[in-house]
A and B are shown apart, each in its own frame.
Chain A
Amino acid sequence: MAQFLPLSRAVADNLNSGDTVAFEGFTHLIPTAAAHEAIRQGFKDLTLVRMTPDLIYDQMIGMGMAKKAIFSYAGNPGVGLLRRLRDAVENGFPHALEIEEHSHAAMANAYEAGAAGLPCAIFRGYRGAELTKVNPNIRSVTCPFSGEVLAAVPSVRPDVTFIHAQKANRRGDVLVEGIIGIQKEAALAARRAVVTVEEVVDNFDDLHPNLTVLPRWSVTAISVVPGGAHPSYAHGYYVRDNASYLEWDEISADRDRFREWMQTNVIEKTSDDFAARVEHLRIVA
């Protein structure tokens, strides 16, 4: 049953060094505040799962928190490459990073299989793709009915998933809307699901019946963090801070500048600082 907790407590209670953890968000609703809290608490040896590891995994990898990354597109969305991840993969800095690389179709299927309680996902994919030669977790099965050879990958079952959503009601049900990405599957695939939200409303009585809602009993903890998806956006609340994505390309290009930025903007801050970061990005009704 969802508990409302301060973010520092929600992270401390649900994340452990050595965990397999997903901080999901497909360009939209990226759980930056939760990732920054995890960075402040200094976890180690994490296996980071994400379809589109972007700035937050670049930051966690650069801070030496990750032993492995499972992903399908490691880019700075709309800008270019991830320079801390590159430094880890190309130069082993700050330490070597094991990678398990997939396609989006594989990761999406793997999360869905995780949510469905299956050990693996089966789909028509990877035909002719060289990832099959470098990732031993990409295998195949033969359909017992048609004989078609299909791709198989292990399901994703994180110890804990963190997502950001628009709102919760007072009971603890959570609403996600707009580009919903893989949020629902990632939350339901995990043993524990922690959600940061923009706001809490009294009830969801007037919502359309088919919206994406995670019932309170499928969520472990909820933290109210307005602006918690910055510099990504929260549909209906604030827009993407594109300047921050461009700036990250420069900050992350230099090891020392990266460390200084992390010290000033993450280590010495709290989740309360996010609200001010989106003030100028808020949507005028």
Chain B
Amino acid sequence: MSVTGFSPNEMMTIAASRALKGDDVCFVGIGAPSAACNVARLTHAPDITLIYESGTIGTAPQVLPLSIGDGELCDTAVTTVSVPEMFRYWLQGGRISIGFLGAAQLDKFGNINTTVIGDYAHPKTRLPGGGGAPEIATSSKEIFITMAQSRRAMVEKIDFYTSFGHGDGGDHRQRLGIDTKGPTLLITDLAIWKPDPVTKEFTVVSLHPEVTRNKVQETCGWTVKFADTLEQTPEPTELELTTLRDLKARSSGAAHKGAAVGARQGSKDG
């Protein structure tokens, strides 16, 4: 907790939640994106459609899921479809407005690595891999990314291109025949970033309260570009903070209990 009454991580989640609108259809990555999407749903965007890759469409979990396939997601969803249907009809079919991703490693053009640190054949660290991200990154109409800043995570050159962002920048996506926008927003624990309209390099457009340019640069592995007119991210409102903290408290309570509170029965009797 910082002196201003909220942590950088809380500011990140809340700033990310503000970027979502009620008419968005959002493909939600687990972790930080999941918290942000649900805060949006519980505050200003109650009608947002949240989709998790396990097949749950229009889900409204009371607690944050421990994984992308929790029963809570299915219990509260409008419908649950198979994984092939999810990726074929709903994602590849072009029905997702926002793909919301996290990243282990990110470069300034929004390319993401979640596969390996080091060489692919002889990795220093074998990470889980891409999962749904390679196609989420290219089939969603646009991509939001959220992650905490560090020099290890935000690097000049990523070790592996798991998910394509803007490639080498400029019109690289169009040259590969990709007609979706790609990364349009990066929300970190320190700032809000948007790609330069021409070069597509992520540029800081807004600093979170009490964050300095130096702090942003110290925790980023590339030379940071700042917009000419730099805004300040509004502090979390009381409603936003309370909503996030209540959600986290409910979630950790449920995780430790290991028992379902209010979980619906399956159709045992049809």
Contacts and interface: CB of A to CB of B under 8 A. Distances in A.
Q: Indicate the member of B115, B126, B265 with the most A CB atoms within 10 Å.
A: B126
A125 B98 CA distance: 17
Nearest to B163: A129
B270 interface: yes
B91 A105 contact: yes
Contacts of B55: 26, 179-181
A81 B128 contact: yes
A105 B134 contact: yes
Interface stretch (A5-13, A14-22, A206-214, A253-261): A206-214
Given A89-B123, A131-B134, A206-B270, A104 B92 contact: no
Contacts of B56: 179
Contact of A104 (B74, B132, B160): B132
A149 B126 CA distance: 31
B260 A239 contact: yes
A49 to B, nearest CB: 14
B91 A134 contact: no
B54 A27 contact: yes
A78 B123 contact: no
B83 A208 contact: no
A239 B55 CA distance: 18
B27 to A, nearest CB: 11
Interface residues of B, number: 68
B239 to A, nearest CB: 28
B138 A128 contact: yes
A interface majority secondary structure = loop
Interface in A116-170: 123-131, 134, 148-149, 166
A190 to B, nearest CB: 15
A99 to B, nearest CB: 9
Contacts of B83: 26, 51, 104, 108, 181-182
Contacts of B268: 236
Interface in B91-126: 91-92, 115, 120-126
Nearest to B72: A239
Interface stretch (A40-48, A66-74, A215-223, A268-276): A66-74
A262 B263 CA distance: 32
Interface in B218-270: 255-256, 258-260, 263-270
Contact of A178 (B71, B135, B173, B256): B71
Interface string A246-285: 0000000000000000000000000000000000110111
Given A124-B92, A239-B260, 20 more contacts: A27-B69, A28-B69, A74-B126, A74-B129, A90-B123, A103-B135, A127-B164, A128-B164, A130-B162, A131-B162, A134-B120, A179-B73, A179-B80, A180-B81, A181-B55, A182-B83, A235-B266, A239-B258, A239-B263, A283-B260
11 contacts: A103-B130, A105-B88, A124-B92, A128-B138, A177-B266, A180-B82, A181-B69, A185-B84, A204-B270, A235-B74, A281-B259
